[in-house]
Amino acid sequence: MQPRILIAREKIAARVAEIGAEITRDFAGEAIIFVGVLKGAAIFLSDLARQVRLDATFDFIGVSSYGARPTPAQELHGGWDSTGEVRLTKDVDHSLRDKNVILVEDILDTGLTLTYLKDILLSHQPKAFRIAALLDKPSRRKKPIAGDYVGFSIPDEFVVGYGLDYAERYRNLPDVCVLPRE
């Protein structure tokens, strides 16, 4: 199974710089906190944060899906289909009260994960709350949630690289790649 490049590193870098400039404009003169969703968002967060010219700090949150999560092979063949039963494996380390929070996610798919996380983070009563997602698969959405800063809309393919994994592998590929289903 050879990954095929869907979005090349130069294109990712250019888009991440644009999003960084947009965040810099939107929060001019204010401090922000990036909250990355482990582990997939780690690479996007580290690149994005370096394109933002603001007083910024980081935090991380972890989630996993309950129950009959598909095996990696089923995931690849049938598409990711989380049941919606998401559980927190790591909470944020700091209070987000009155903070400008940017939740950073690798990919917005069914929307179940971000809907769950949004409720948790809003309960901290932040000053502002925004979602930054590198990738978006709008055709897969089950919950009506949208990203405020979205890198690329992609078709319903299983992607790896730039933080995204298949059975924990491929996260270090510099490009976003499609793992062929056959």
Nearer to ligand 5GP, 124 or 140 (CB): 140
Helix (H), strand (E), coil (C) string for 54-106 = CEEEEEEEEEEECCCCCCHHHHHHHCCCCCCCEEEEECCCCCCCCCEEEEEEE
User: And the tokens for 33?
Assistant: 């906190």
Please confirm, yes or no, whether 109 is among the known catalytic residues: yes
Residue 60: strand, helix, or coil: strand
User: Shortest distance, CB of residue 108 to ligand 5GP, whole angstroms?
Assistant: 5
Scanning 16-24, 93-101, 119-127, 159-167 for contacts with ligand 5GP by CB under 6 A, the matching segment is 159-167
Backbone angles phi, psi at 55, to 5 degrees: -75, 105
Q: Does position 163 bind ligand 5GP by CB under 6 A?
A: no
Nearer to ligand 5GP, 32 or 164 (CB): 164
Radius of gyration for the alpha carbons in the chain, expressed in angstroms and rounded: 16
Q: Which of 106, 109, 136, 175 is catalytic?
A: 109
What part of residues 94-123 is at the interface with ligand 5GP (CB under 6 A)?
Answer: 105-114
> H or E segment at 104?
strand 100-108
User: What is the distance between the alpha carbons of residues 47 and 38, in angstroms, rounded to a whole number?
Assistant: 15
User: Shortest distance, CB of residue 132 to ligand 5GP, whole angstroms?
Assistant: 13
User: Shortest distance, CB of residue 173 to ligand 5GP, whole angstroms?
Assistant: 11
Contact indicator for 174, 13 with CB cutoff of 8 Å: no
Spell out, one character per residue from 60 to 99, where the chain touches ligand 5GP: x when CB under 6 A holds, - when not.
--------------------x-x-----------------
Enumerate the active-site residues: 109
- Site of interaction with ligand 5GP (CB under 6 A): 40, 80, 82, 105-114, 158-160, 164-166
